[in-house]
Amino acid sequence: MSEYLPKEVRAGLELARKAALRKASRLKVEAGGQRFTILRYWDDGFAVDSEEAPHLRGLVDVFDGAKHLSQCLIVASEEEAGEMVYEFKRATRATESAPLDYSRDESAPVALIEKS
């Protein structure tokens, strides 16, 4: 059907589609102190607007609003339909606390109550 539409109408529809994706998405990718809106996100990667973001590469952070979701090592995969697609080489979930280097005993006390 898109072959029958004039070039200007197709361009307008594509701009409207990107604007709707940008407005609906809370996900952001941060690289080099700059944040870019993630238009689409899946298990192996994500896509951003090719006009908005520079050619990203290396270590980036993914956020959902203010919540840090993961730290990822990415490579650019391809550009399609005005979106730059990136794939994860490594994606590490962000946690609230540092990982333990020992196994915690389930029956261990969680606090110490002193006698007064």
Predicted pLDDT of residue 20:
67
Domain of residue 84 covers 26-93
- Stated as kind and residue range, the H or E segment containing 97 is none
Q: pTM for the complete prediction? A: 0.65
Amino acid letter for position 42: W
The DSSP 8-state label assigned to residue 107 in this structure reads: T
CATH number at residue 33: 2.40.10.430
Look at residue 67 and tell me if it is in a domain.
yes
Output the tens digit of pLDDT for each of the chain's 116 residues: 456 778 787 777 777 776 666 666 688 999 888 889 888 888 899 998 888 877 888 999 999 888 888 999 999 888 887 889 999 999 888 887 777 777 878 888 878 788 87
Look at residue 32 and tell me if it is in a domain.
yes
Are the C-beta atoms of residues 106 and 68 closer than 8 Å to each other?
no
Predicted pLDDT of residue 21:
63
